[in-house]
Amino acid sequence: MPPALTLPSPTMTRSILRAALEALDLSDRQDEVTFRSRMITLLDSSAGCFLRSTFPAHFTGSVMLVNADGSKTLLHHHRKLDKWLPFGGHCDGEENVLAVAQREALEECGIEGLILASPRPFDLDIHTIPARPGEPEHEHYDVRWMLIAPENAVFKVSPESLELRWFTPDEMEELPLTSGNKRLLAKWRRILSRRAHPTT
């Protein structure tokens, strides 16, 4: 792992994350209501919920990274999981999950100057990670934000990835996506549709 890189982000603690989750309007995100409830329960019940050594579940931070005009998303072919995925990773004890997500994106793609689209989480997801030697099957309680790359951004492939590639929505749809990443794609499509057909 390269030295930790940081990006400016709002201060976030366990209590601030809890409040941010509670404040989310999930009226049009019904499949995330259960995820939020489980995340709040984990925050309230597990002192080590930000540590990767805490099982059967711990928090992670991820991002959906789009290019400057929002028409493409950058994904990486994860070396260990052998899947095309958004950027993200473990908190390793850090309660500021947004800073974790930003740091992981920067470390994994090398693009400086990433812009936070909104301080509110873009998506909530809980997914299962299969067992590996020394690590049991467990769940990632993944809080996700959207980041925007600057114009003419040039990425670098990190040791954690086999490849990085920009995908259009149609190209992303052709990938074997998890239900959570299908939901990211659907949200991204809705944003692009609103831009193409603004209300008057």
Query: Does residue 102 form part of some domain?
Result: yes
- In the block, tokens 């059967």 appear at 56
Would you state the structure tokens that stand for residue 86, as one six-digit string?
A: 């958004």
For residue 38, being part of any structural domain is answered with yes
41 Cβ neighbours under 8 A, 6+ residues apart: none
The CATH number covering residue 82 comes to 3.90.79.10
Nearest CA to 152 among 102, 111, 200? 111
5 belongs to a structural domain: no
Domain ranges, residue 164: 14-196
Instruction: Indicate whether 4 belongs to any domain.
Output: no
Angle, helices 33-45/14-23, rounded to nearest 10 degrees = 160
Structural domain count, the chain: 1
Query: Domain for residue 2, yes or no?
Result: no
Residue 8 located in a structural domain: no
Note down pLDDT in tens along the chain; length 200 residues. 333 333 445 578 999 999 999 999 999 898 899 999 999 999 999 999 999 999 999 999 999 999 999 999 999 999 988 999 999 999 999 999 999 999 999 999 999 999 999 999 999 999 999 998 989 999 999 999 999 999 999 999 999 999 999 999 999 999 999 999 999 999 999 999 998 888 65
Please name the residue that has the structure tokens 């982000």.
Answer: 9
Judge whether 179 lies within some domain: yes
Question: Structure tokens of 58?
Answer: 């711990």
Backbone angles phi, psi at 59, to 5 degrees: -80, 145
Closest CA to 91 of 41, 141, 127, 16: 141
Q: Is position 42 within any domain?
A: yes
